[in-house]
Amino acid sequence: MAQITVTINGKAFRMACDDGEEDRLLGLANRFDGLITELRDAFGEIGDQRLTVMAGIMATDQLAELERKNAELEIELKRVREAQSQAAVSKMRTESEVAEVIDRTAARLEILSEHLSRTLKPQ
């Protein structure tokens, strides 16, 4: 387990994290500290605890919004995949129908060709 020190609202906190996760945890702490700074700039000194709670709620709100958008995108992706699948089936059906028409047309042309050959054959 790695040990790091993060600074939130001007206070140092010693934290443990998995080895290799130090930079990630420092980045998250810096991001959370940025929310507190943003709130302090907007509301002034309203107390450390209140700033921390407000920043936590802001972070949770942002997470909830991202989860909502992610759910919408997953639904849209499912719709797109279903449409793609239906389009592929339709394409295969159309190709099969076109191939059948070509085969029938080719057979008719052969019959016509044979008929013309017999009709125009010199006697």
Predicted local confidence at residue 123, as pLDDT: 63
Task: Kindly report, residue by residue over 69-110, the tens digit of the pLDDT.
Answer: 999 999 999 999 999 999 999 999 999 999 999 999 999 999
In this structure, how many other beta carbons lie within 10 angstroms of the beta carbon of residue 8?
A: 17
118: left (phi over 0), alpha (psi -120 to 50) or beta: alpha
User: Can you give the pTM of this predicted structure?
Assistant: 0.65
Look at residue 121 in the predicted model and tell me its pLDDT.
75
Per-residue pLDDT band at 45 (split at 50, 70, 90): confident
Q: How far apart are CA 123 and CA 114, in angstroms?
A: 16
